[in-house]
Structure 1
Amino acid sequence: MQLASTQPAAAQQTESALYDITKSGTLRVCQYPSYYSISYRNPKTGEIEGIDADLSKELAKELGVELEIVESSFGTFIADLQADKCEIGMFGVGATLKRAQAVAFSDPYLLTSIYAVGRKGGKIESWEDIDQEGNKVAVTLGSYIEPFMKSYLKNAEVVTVAPPATREGELMANRADVIMTDYPTAIKVTDEFDWAVTIEPNETLRLTPYSYVVRQGDQIWLNYVNLFVKTIKLDGRLKFFAEKNKLGPIVAP
């Protein structure tokens, strides 16, 4: 009688993005270039800045390969990964159960709640003011915040903003009364615009881990990415680049 193989799945895997990357000499990273503090294209320099701009360079350095940035978005990154446009998404992707049906997530490197950003002197001054008739609340298309706010808000209107348009632009143009976002964007917007003010919820709202994202079924590559996350936590690089980009308070343990 032939015994079933007892080898782990990773040991049986013969193809992996890890091998393709080292063979080609290039790491293709999907990034959304409009994500403040994470992967934001500086309009003055044209360079992408933020924690994942920094850490994608560190990952390429560890692999000994060149870095190629592939522009993506929260609405398209799953299709981009599945179409082999990139080997990994590195731009603060919220690890949700729904997304995990289509892609695989690394161990988390950031943890964030949901915050609101409004205008100083506007009609929304506290969290209780938000869910009122006539208010327009802007969210980004494809973000984990979009479906949550659509179920959370009972009276206010949820306005979905599709890239290249931004929630901040809708707020500035008075087409939205408030935007719903995460810690990175809230901090960056209030730093950059003196008219902006952060409004915190009364309790932790939809605490979400941010992880790196790869195609399903490639355990070898996922193991490597997880080891990278563990390594940068241990050697201090995660903390260093988080604090550099004002994200120190949300570093994942």
Structure 2
Amino acid sequence: MKKLLTIAAAGATLAIAMPAEQVQAQQTESRLFEITRNGVLRVCQYPLYYSISFRNPATGEIEGIDADLAQELANELGAELEIVESSFGTFIADLQSDKCEIGMFGIGATLARAQAVEFSQPYLITSIYAVTREGGEITTWSDIDQPGHRVAVSLGSYIEPFMADYLQEAELVVIAPPATREAELVANRVDVIMTDFPTAVKVTDEFDWAMTIEPDEPLRMTPYSYVVPQGDQIWLNYVNLFIDTIKLDGRLQYFAEKNSLGPIVAP
């Protein structure tokens, strides 16, 4: 009996030790080390996102707060920045298939998305806004959800499922890349687009005919975060420290103001 107990105890000790060794192995393997070893940071970005990561048709360069901050992150890592084009409908698959190490393009942190990816702490926080044409039928928030009105949202955005539940009378129009809500509004194929603060600011700045409508009270307040694959706590810790650092040294506020996003910087 004593021999059996000794064997059982040894087996239990081994069972306890093995998971600990596996945990230790996981802690010493990270995308952070791959990036610094290879000297390349692959960042997924949606190149049609005004003020966040928008490809300037004149220069071909991606501009916006996350274009700037992606370069800052690459500089901190001593790595070359490589942009991988993505979208709200594909970024989870792109991360899971190792097309990039991080998504940086104003991604709303939601509980549904958190089942598949890891979110950093927030760096921006925004409500939902509407953008429409001046002189049209829609002039107030209450005008939006009316019969005959076509309301555009981007495929895969956190705004899409929210508006699907929110609208009772108006028609929801889901826009998939390469088409954009803004182009549909310009072409008069939709009456209003539902968007966030960055896009609302940019569209109304660029087009004389565009008008932003705020909801009667903040609607679906959403934190914007960076997103990384699940299971890499070392990499996530580094990204969170990067956000803490740029908040403290003023870089986040500087690049937010540069891109007209100062009012929505996360505390």
TM-score w.r.t. length of structure 2: 0.92
Residue 14 of structure 1 and its aligned partner are, at CA, apart by 2.5
Between the aligned partners of 1:10 and 1:100, the Cα distance in structure 2 is: 25
CA RMSD of aligned residues (A): 1.5
Between the aligned partners of 1:211 and 1:16, the Cα distance in structure 2 is: 20
Give per-residue Cα distances to partners, 1:88-142, cap 9 Å, x unaligned: 0000000000000000000000000000000000000000000000000000000
Choose which of 95, 113, 125 in structure 2 pairs with 1:81.
95
Between the aligned partners of 1:249 and 1:56, the Cα distance in structure 2 is: 21
**Residue 237 (structure 1) aligned with residue 251 (structure 2):** yes
Between the aligned partners of 1:9 and 1:153, the Cα distance in structure 2 is: 47
State how many pairs are aligned.
253
CA contact (8 A) 1:10 1:220 kept: no
Question: Taking structure 1 as reference, are residues 8 and 226 closer, same or farther at Cα in structure 2, changes over 3 Å only?
Answer: farther
Choose which of 190, 206, 217 in structure 2 pairs with 1:192.
206
Question: Taking structure 1 as reference, are residues 67 and 135 closer, same or farther at Cα in structure 2, changes over 3 Å only?
Answer: same
Q: Report the secondary structure of 2:43's partner residue.
A: strand
Q: 1:185-224 alignment to 2 at 5 Å?
A: 185-224=199-238
Question: Taking structure 1 as reference, are residues 53 and 29 closer, same or farther at Cα in structure 2, changes over 3 Å only?
Answer: same
Between the aligned partners of 1:139 and 1:202, the Cα distance in structure 2 is: 20
Q: Which residue of 2 aligns with 1:246?
A: 260
CA contact (8 A) 1:10 1:219 kept: no
Residue 7 of structure 1 and its aligned partner are, at CA, apart by 9.3
Kindly provide the amino acid, as one letter, of the partner of residue 45 in structure 1: T
**Residue 226 (structure 1) aligned with residue 233 (structure 2):** no
Q: Which residue of 2 aligns with 1:129?
A: 143
Residue 55 of structure 1 and its aligned partner are, at CA, apart by 0.2
Between the aligned partners of 2:248 and 2:23, the Cα distance in structure 1 is: 27
Question: Taking structure 1 as reference, are residues 10 and 224 closer, same or farther at Cα in structure 2, changes over 3 Å only?
Answer: farther
Kindly provide the amino acid, as one letter, of the partner of residue 260 in structure 2: K
CA contact (8 A) 1:105 1:213 kept: yes
Residue 215 of structure 1 and its aligned partner are, at CA, apart by 0.2
Residue 13 of structure 1 and its aligned partner are, at CA, apart by 1.8
Is there any run of 5+ residues in structure 1 with no aligned partner, and where? none
Between the aligned partners of 2:246 and 2:22, the Cα distance in structure 1 is: 27
Give per-residue Cα distances to partners, 1:159-185, cap 9 Å, x unaligned: 000011000011111110000000000
